[in-house]
Amino acid sequence: MTEFLANESAGPHKAPNAAADTLPKEELWRADLYDLLAALLARPPSGELLAGLARLEGDRQTEIGRHIGALARLASATGEKAAEREYNALFIGLGRGELLAFASFYLTGFLNEQPLARLRRDMARLGIAREEDVHEPEDNIATLCEIMAGLIRGRFGAPATASAQREFFTTHLEPWAEHFFTDLEKAGAAVLYAPVGSLGRAFMKLEAHTFRMIG
Amino acid sequence: MAERKTEATRRDFLKLAGVSAPGAVSALAMSAGAAGAADAEEMSSGTGLRSTEHVLKYLETARY
């Protein structure tokens, strides 16, 4: 993700589509979680993000809420520098981080394979473009989470239908994302990112179950 | 934990944490291209999970 990190100009996203205001709250929670995962996985968290995470309170009655609570506690005890070191050890590393967070790698053992080609076709069909200054392959976990959030909120047009959301999820995330988050949860370098892994794993399971209910 | 506080936390989740999307992707600038047709079909406004009440109920039990 070095190239991506070098491009700080890939700034925050434009204002969300106004349609997002009328979405059911459950849809907004899902979009919020995807955006949170995307923010944490795209680059090392800023001091501001860590401070913001530290203020979160998860609902202790739910698994996802408990993981958010754990993330908040660790965020309050983690400085920006330490978070960056951890991020680099996990995803950048010396030559290579501990994890390679790409669909192609998880599904084929190599980068830039068929899963990326299929994603690019689907992105074109859905009217989603990679920002010009981003050079990292799109099939990384952060971008896939960002796309799911954008589909839910309607960042690329009108909010996506449930079946369009399901198709994207089952094609591009379900085959590998839970496996990746489980690896992240157990990664040797993961401290702050351990609850990120747990949160992502639980959320991917929830999403898979939700989309099966829609059938 | 006070339920009201939790509710507020959930509602303002992103705002509170200062989370913004990484900005790696954006809407494709379309010039009446082929993408338009599929786009309109799959992204019809006002659907999403709205019409599936049992799914919303299920998600409610998993809230954070």
Residue A75 lies in a domain: yes
Q: Which residue has the higher pLDDT, B12 or A214?
A: A214
Tokens 């920006």 — which residue? A80
Q: How confident is the model at residue B3 (pLDDT cuts 50, 70, 90)?
A: very low
Residue A76 lies in a domain: yes
Question: In chain B, which residues have their Cβ closer than 8 Å to the Cβ of A158?
Answer: 43-45
Alpha-helix runs per DSSP H in chain A: 2-6, 25-42, 47-54, 63-76, 80-87, 103-108, 114-126, 141-153, 162-172, 177-186, 193-214
**Residue A6, in any domain of the structure:** no
Q: Give me the amino acid identity at B43.
A: M
- The 3-state DSSP class for residue A102 equals strand
User: Is the minimum CB–CB distance between A82 and chain B shorter than 8 Å?
Assistant: no
pLDDT of the residue at B22: 87
In a domain, A12, yes or no: no
Q: Supply the pLDDT for residue A77.
A: 97
A91-107 pLDDT, tens digit each: 997 667 899 999 999 99
Q: What residue of A is the nearest CA neighbor of B47?
A: A161
Predicted confidence at residue B58, as pLDDT, reads 76
The complex scores an ipTM of 0.75
| Chain length of chain A | 215
Report helix, strand or coil for B9: helix
- Chain B residue with minimal CA distance to A162? B48
Q: Is residue A151 situated within a structural domain?
A: yes
Is position A33 within any domain? yes
Total structural domains within chain A: 1
Which range marks the domain in which residue A77 is found?
20-214
What pLDDT does A5 receive? 27
For residue range A26-37, what is the model confidence (pLDDT) as tens digits? 888 899 999 999
For residues A200 and A55, the model is more confident at A200
Q: What is the pLDDT of residue B48?
A: 62
- CATH number for position A73: 1.10.3480.10
Residues from chain A contacting residue B63 (CB–CB below 8 Å): 26, 29, 59, 62, 64-65
Q: Is residue A67 a part of any domain in this protein?
A: yes
pLDDT digits (tens, 9 = 90+) for B5-60: 555 555 556 556 678 788 899 998 754 444 444 454 455 544 566 556 777 777 77
Q: Mapping DSSP to helix (H, G, I), strand (E, B) and coil, where does residue A125 land?
A: helix
Does the residue A113 lie in any domain? yes
